[in-house]
Chains A and B, each alone.
Chain A
Amino acid sequence: MKNAVLRDEVCLTIPMDHDMELVAAKTGSVLAELNHFNEEQIEEIQYAIIETCINAFEHSQSEDRKVYILYIRRVDELECKITDTGVGFTPEDQHNSISKRQGMHSDLRKRGWGLEITKTLMDEFDIQSSENGTTVSFIKRIVS
Protein backbone atom coordinates (compact mmCIF):
# COMPACT_ATOMS: atom_id res chain seq x y z
CA MET A 1 0.00 0.00 0.00
CA LYS A 2 2.78 2.48 0.91
CA ASN A 3 4.44 2.19 -2.52
CA ALA A 4 1.21 2.45 -4.42
CA VAL A 5 0.54 5.73 -6.22
CA LEU A 6 -3.11 6.64 -6.59
CA ARG A 7 -4.17 6.52 -10.22
CA ASP A 8 -7.94 6.36 -10.57
CA GLU A 9 -11.11 6.17 -8.54
CA VAL A 10 -14.38 4.95 -9.97
CA CYS A 11 -17.68 5.14 -8.07
CA LEU A 12 -20.66 2.99 -8.88
CA THR A 13 -24.05 2.74 -7.21
CA ILE A 14 -26.19 -0.29 -7.92
CA PRO A 15 -29.74 -1.08 -6.84
CA MET A 16 -30.23 -4.27 -4.83
CA ASP A 17 -31.91 -5.99 -7.74
CA HIS A 18 -31.46 -9.37 -9.35
CA ASP A 19 -28.13 -9.75 -11.18
CA MET A 20 -27.05 -6.16 -10.44
CA GLU A 21 -23.95 -7.66 -8.82
CA LEU A 22 -22.85 -8.50 -12.37
CA VAL A 23 -22.70 -4.78 -13.21
CA ALA A 24 -20.35 -4.26 -10.28
CA ALA A 25 -18.30 -7.33 -11.19
CA LYS A 26 -17.96 -6.31 -14.85
CA THR A 27 -16.80 -2.81 -13.83
CA GLY A 28 -14.19 -4.37 -11.57
CA SER A 29 -13.19 -6.71 -14.36
CA VAL A 30 -12.61 -3.85 -16.81
CA LEU A 31 -10.53 -1.92 -14.28
CA ALA A 32 -8.50 -5.04 -13.49
CA GLU A 33 -7.95 -5.64 -17.19
CA LEU A 34 -6.72 -2.05 -17.62
CA ASN A 35 -4.26 -2.76 -14.81
CA HIS A 36 -3.01 -5.89 -16.61
CA PHE A 37 -4.14 -8.38 -14.00
CA ASN A 38 -4.01 -11.90 -15.38
CA GLU A 39 -7.18 -13.80 -16.33
CA GLU A 40 -7.34 -15.82 -13.12
CA GLN A 41 -6.93 -12.74 -10.94
CA ILE A 42 -9.65 -10.91 -12.88
CA GLU A 43 -11.95 -13.85 -12.23
CA GLU A 44 -11.08 -13.78 -8.52
CA ILE A 45 -11.88 -10.04 -8.36
CA GLN A 46 -15.24 -10.65 -10.03
CA TYR A 47 -16.10 -13.42 -7.55
CA ALA A 48 -15.14 -11.22 -4.59
CA ILE A 49 -17.32 -8.36 -5.86
CA ILE A 50 -20.26 -10.65 -6.64
CA GLU A 51 -20.20 -12.32 -3.23
CA THR A 52 -19.83 -9.07 -1.30
CA CYS A 53 -22.70 -7.43 -3.22
CA ILE A 54 -24.96 -10.45 -2.74
CA ASN A 55 -24.15 -10.42 0.96
CA ALA A 56 -25.32 -6.79 1.12
CA PHE A 57 -28.43 -7.55 -0.95
CA GLU A 58 -29.43 -10.43 1.34
CA HIS A 59 -28.47 -9.23 4.79
CA SER A 60 -28.12 -5.45 4.99
CA GLN A 61 -31.84 -4.63 5.33
CA SER A 62 -30.93 -1.17 4.07
CA GLU A 63 -33.80 1.20 3.45
CA ASP A 64 -32.36 2.73 0.28
CA ARG A 65 -31.77 -0.73 -1.25
CA LYS A 66 -28.52 0.41 -2.83
CA VAL A 67 -24.89 -0.69 -2.75
CA TYR A 68 -22.13 1.88 -3.17
CA ILE A 69 -18.90 0.66 -4.70
CA LEU A 70 -15.65 2.58 -4.80
CA TYR A 71 -12.92 1.10 -6.99
CA ILE A 72 -9.45 2.49 -6.38
CA ARG A 73 -7.06 1.60 -9.14
CA ARG A 74 -3.40 1.89 -8.19
CA VAL A 75 -0.22 1.01 -10.07
CA ASP A 76 0.04 -2.51 -8.70
CA GLU A 77 -3.33 -3.21 -7.12
CA LEU A 78 -7.08 -2.76 -7.23
CA GLU A 79 -9.01 -1.91 -4.08
CA CYS A 80 -12.79 -2.22 -3.77
CA LYS A 81 -14.86 -0.68 -0.98
CA ILE A 82 -18.41 -2.00 -1.02
CA THR A 83 -20.82 -0.16 1.26
CA ASP A 84 -24.43 -0.52 2.28
CA THR A 85 -26.43 1.64 4.68
CA GLY A 86 -28.12 -1.29 6.39
CA VAL A 87 -28.31 -2.49 9.96
CA GLY A 88 -24.77 -3.88 10.12
CA PHE A 89 -23.69 -7.12 11.72
CA THR A 90 -21.36 -8.53 14.32
CA PRO A 91 -19.11 -11.60 14.04
CA GLU A 92 -21.65 -13.37 16.31
CA ASP A 93 -24.48 -12.60 13.86
CA GLN A 94 -22.38 -14.08 11.08
CA HIS A 95 -21.60 -17.22 13.11
CA ASN A 96 -25.27 -17.74 14.04
CA SER A 97 -26.36 -17.30 10.44
CA ILE A 98 -23.83 -19.90 9.29
CA SER A 99 -24.78 -22.44 12.01
CA LYS A 100 -28.43 -22.39 10.92
CA ARG A 101 -27.61 -23.35 7.36
CA GLN A 102 -26.11 -26.81 7.58
CA GLY A 103 -27.38 -29.58 5.36
CA MET A 104 -26.80 -33.35 5.38
CA HIS A 105 -23.09 -32.99 6.16
CA SER A 106 -21.80 -30.58 8.75
CA ASP A 107 -18.88 -29.56 6.51
CA LEU A 108 -21.06 -29.19 3.41
CA ARG A 109 -22.65 -25.89 4.41
CA LYS A 110 -24.96 -24.42 1.79
CA ARG A 111 -24.98 -20.74 2.63
CA GLY A 112 -22.99 -18.14 4.51
CA TRP A 113 -19.88 -18.49 2.34
CA GLY A 114 -19.87 -15.12 0.57
CA LEU A 115 -17.45 -13.14 2.71
CA GLU A 116 -15.30 -16.20 3.38
CA ILE A 117 -14.85 -16.69 -0.37
CA THR A 118 -13.95 -13.01 -0.79
CA LYS A 119 -11.42 -13.16 2.05
CA THR A 120 -9.77 -16.25 0.58
CA LEU A 121 -9.49 -14.84 -2.93
CA MET A 122 -8.17 -11.38 -2.00
CA ASP A 123 -4.80 -10.24 -0.61
CA GLU A 124 -6.27 -7.88 1.99
CA PHE A 125 -9.74 -7.94 3.50
CA ASP A 126 -11.51 -5.80 6.07
CA ILE A 127 -15.04 -5.31 7.39
CA GLN A 128 -16.25 -2.16 9.15
CA SER A 129 -19.79 -2.58 10.37
CA SER A 130 -22.07 -0.55 12.61
CA GLU A 131 -25.77 0.09 13.02
CA ASN A 132 -25.43 2.65 10.21
CA GLY A 133 -24.14 0.24 7.63
CA THR A 134 -21.29 -1.95 6.52
CA THR A 135 -18.24 -1.42 4.35
CA VAL A 136 -16.34 -4.44 3.10
CA SER A 137 -12.94 -3.51 1.66
CA PHE A 138 -10.53 -5.73 -0.17
CA ILE A 139 -7.38 -5.41 -2.22
CA LYS A 140 -6.01 -7.58 -4.98
CA ARG A 141 -2.39 -7.13 -5.99
CA ILE A 142 -0.95 -7.81 -9.40
CA VAL A 143 1.23 -10.89 -9.56
CA SER A 144 3.80 -10.49 -12.31
Chain B
Amino acid sequence: MLNKFDIQIRAEQEYAVLETAGYLNDSLGEQLSKKAQELIEKGYTQLVINLDKTALINSIGISILIEIIEALEERNGTLNFCGLSATQERTFRMMAIAKYAGIFPDEKTAIANF
Protein backbone atom coordinates (compact mmCIF):
# COMPACT_ATOMS: atom_id res chain seq x y z
CA MET B 1 0.00 0.00 0.00
CA LEU B 2 1.50 3.32 -1.06
CA ASN B 3 -0.35 5.52 1.37
CA LYS B 4 -2.81 3.69 3.55
CA PHE B 5 -3.05 5.64 6.75
CA ASP B 6 -4.55 5.02 10.12
CA ILE B 7 -4.57 6.45 13.64
CA GLN B 8 -4.91 4.26 16.72
CA ILE B 9 -5.71 5.85 20.08
CA ARG B 10 -4.92 4.37 23.45
CA ALA B 11 -6.42 6.62 26.15
CA GLU B 12 -5.45 5.94 29.74
CA GLN B 13 -6.42 7.91 32.82
CA GLU B 14 -3.44 10.30 32.83
CA TYR B 15 -2.36 10.31 29.22
CA ALA B 16 -3.28 9.25 25.70
CA VAL B 17 -1.22 7.76 22.90
CA LEU B 18 -1.94 8.47 19.24
CA GLU B 19 -0.21 5.99 16.95
CA THR B 20 -0.05 6.91 13.27
CA ALA B 21 0.50 4.58 10.34
CA GLY B 22 1.25 5.80 6.81
CA TYR B 23 2.59 8.96 5.17
CA LEU B 24 2.13 11.92 7.51
CA ASN B 25 1.01 14.57 5.02
CA ASP B 26 -1.77 17.16 5.21
CA SER B 27 -4.53 14.49 5.12
CA LEU B 28 -3.19 12.30 7.92
CA GLY B 29 -1.99 15.41 9.77
CA GLU B 30 -5.48 16.92 9.79
CA GLN B 31 -7.01 13.67 11.02
CA LEU B 32 -4.37 13.48 13.72
CA SER B 33 -4.99 17.09 14.72
CA LYS B 34 -8.73 16.46 14.96
CA LYS B 35 -8.22 13.42 17.20
CA ALA B 36 -5.68 15.28 19.36
CA GLN B 37 -8.10 18.22 19.72
CA GLU B 38 -10.87 15.84 20.80
CA LEU B 39 -8.57 14.39 23.47
CA ILE B 40 -7.52 17.86 24.63
CA GLU B 41 -11.16 18.92 24.88
CA LYS B 42 -11.80 15.84 27.02
CA GLY B 43 -9.13 17.14 29.40
CA TYR B 44 -6.06 15.21 28.30
CA THR B 45 -2.94 17.36 28.61
CA GLN B 46 -0.32 14.62 28.27
CA LEU B 47 -0.19 13.17 24.79
CA VAL B 48 2.22 10.79 23.07
CA ILE B 49 2.42 10.63 19.29
CA ASN B 50 3.97 7.33 18.24
CA LEU B 51 5.41 7.57 14.71
CA ASP B 52 6.89 4.08 14.61
CA LYS B 53 4.62 3.04 11.70
CA THR B 54 5.03 6.33 9.84
CA ALA B 55 7.98 5.95 7.49
CA LEU B 56 7.64 9.34 5.82
CA ILE B 57 6.51 12.77 7.02
CA ASN B 58 6.38 15.92 4.96
CA SER B 59 6.81 19.48 6.19
CA ILE B 60 3.04 20.12 5.96
CA GLY B 61 2.49 17.16 8.30
CA ILE B 62 5.15 18.56 10.65
CA SER B 63 3.45 21.98 10.65
CA ILE B 64 0.28 20.26 11.90
CA LEU B 65 2.30 18.57 14.66
CA ILE B 66 3.47 22.05 15.69
CA GLU B 67 -0.16 23.16 15.93
CA ILE B 68 -0.82 20.24 18.32
CA ILE B 69 2.20 21.32 20.42
CA GLU B 70 0.77 24.86 20.57
CA ALA B 71 -2.74 23.63 21.45
CA LEU B 72 -1.30 21.63 24.35
CA GLU B 73 0.88 24.55 25.48
CA GLU B 74 -2.25 26.69 25.82
CA ARG B 75 -3.43 24.19 28.46
CA ASN B 76 0.00 23.75 30.04
CA GLY B 77 0.15 20.30 28.51
CA THR B 78 2.99 18.21 27.12
CA LEU B 79 3.49 16.35 23.87
CA ASN B 80 6.05 13.57 23.66
CA PHE B 81 7.03 11.89 20.40
CA CYS B 82 8.41 8.38 20.02
CA GLY B 83 9.28 5.93 17.27
CA LEU B 84 11.04 8.48 15.07
CA SER B 85 13.59 7.38 12.49
CA ALA B 86 17.03 8.99 12.58
CA THR B 87 16.11 11.34 9.72
CA GLN B 88 12.80 12.30 11.31
CA GLU B 89 14.53 13.06 14.61
CA ARG B 90 17.20 15.12 12.84
CA THR B 91 14.48 17.09 11.03
CA PHE B 92 12.48 17.65 14.24
CA ARG B 93 15.58 18.92 16.02
CA MET B 94 16.43 21.22 13.11
CA MET B 95 12.91 22.69 13.24
CA ALA B 96 13.23 23.35 17.02
CA ILE B 97 10.40 20.90 17.78
CA ALA B 98 12.65 19.18 20.33
CA LYS B 99 12.66 22.41 22.33
CA TYR B 100 8.88 22.33 22.85
CA ALA B 101 8.12 18.60 22.80
CA GLY B 102 9.87 15.49 24.07
CA ILE B 103 11.51 13.01 21.71
CA PHE B 104 11.94 9.47 23.05
CA PRO B 105 12.94 6.19 21.46
CA ASP B 106 9.85 4.21 22.45
CA GLU B 107 6.35 4.60 23.83
CA LYS B 108 7.22 3.31 27.32
CA THR B 109 9.96 5.92 27.74
CA ALA B 110 7.76 8.67 26.29
CA ILE B 111 5.02 7.88 28.84
CA ALA B 112 7.50 7.62 31.71
CA ASN B 113 8.84 11.10 30.96
CA PHE B 114 5.70 13.21 31.49
> What is the interface of chain A, defined by CB distance below 8 A to chain B?
18-19, 21-22, 25-26, 40, 43-44, 46-47, 50-51, 54, 103-105, 107-111, 113-114, 116-117, 120-121
Q: Of B58, B87, B94, B99, which is within 8 A of A21 by CB? A: B58
Q: Which residues from chain A contact B67 at a C-beta distance below 8 Å?
A: 103, 110
A101 and B24 alpha carbons, distance in the complex (Å): 20
Interface size on B, as a range, is: 20 to 34
* Any A CB within 8 A of the CB of B11: no
Task: Give me 5 A-to-B residue pairs in the complex whose CB atoms sit less than 8 angstroms apart, sorted by A's number.
Answer: A22-B3, A47-B87, A104-B70, A108-B99, A120-B94
1/0 contact string of B53-71 vs chain A (CB within 8 Å): 0011011101100110110
Q: Are B59 and A43 in contact (CB under 8 A)?
A: no
Q: Which residues from chain B contact A107 at a C-beta distance below 8 Å?
A: 96, 99
The tally of CB-CB contacts under 8 A between chains A and B is 74
Q: Which residues from chain B contact A25 at a C-beta distance below 8 Å?
A: 56
CB distance from A24 to the nearest CB of B (A): 12
Query: Nearest residue in B to A101 (C-beta to C-beta)?
Result: B63
List 3 A-B pairs, minimum CB-CB distance, nearest first: A110-B63, A107-B96, A43-B87
CB distance from B66 to the nearest CB of A (A): 5
* Any A CB within 8 A of the CB of B106: no
B interface SS class:
helix
Q: Are B56 and A47 in contact (CB under 8 A)?
A: yes
**If the complex has contacts A19-B25, A47-B87, are A113 and B62 also in contact, measured as CB distance less than 8 A?**
yes
CB distance from B96 to the nearest CB of A (A): 4
Q: Are A105 and B94 in contact (CB under 8 A)?
A: no
**If the complex has contacts A19-B23, A103-B66, are A51 and B58 also in contact, measured as CB distance less than 8 A?**
yes
Q: Of A26, A104, A109, which is within 8 A of B95 by CB? A: A109
Q: Of B25, B66, B73, which is within 8 A of A110 by CB? A: B66
Looking at A26, A44, A108, A120, the one whose CB has the most chain B CB atoms below 10 A away is A108
CB distance from A47 to the nearest CB of B (A): 6
Q: Are B94 and A44 in contact (CB under 8 A)?
A: no
Q: Are A108 and B97 in contact (CB under 8 A)?
A: yes
* Any A CB within 8 A of the CB of B112: no
* Any A CB within 8 A of the CB of B31: no
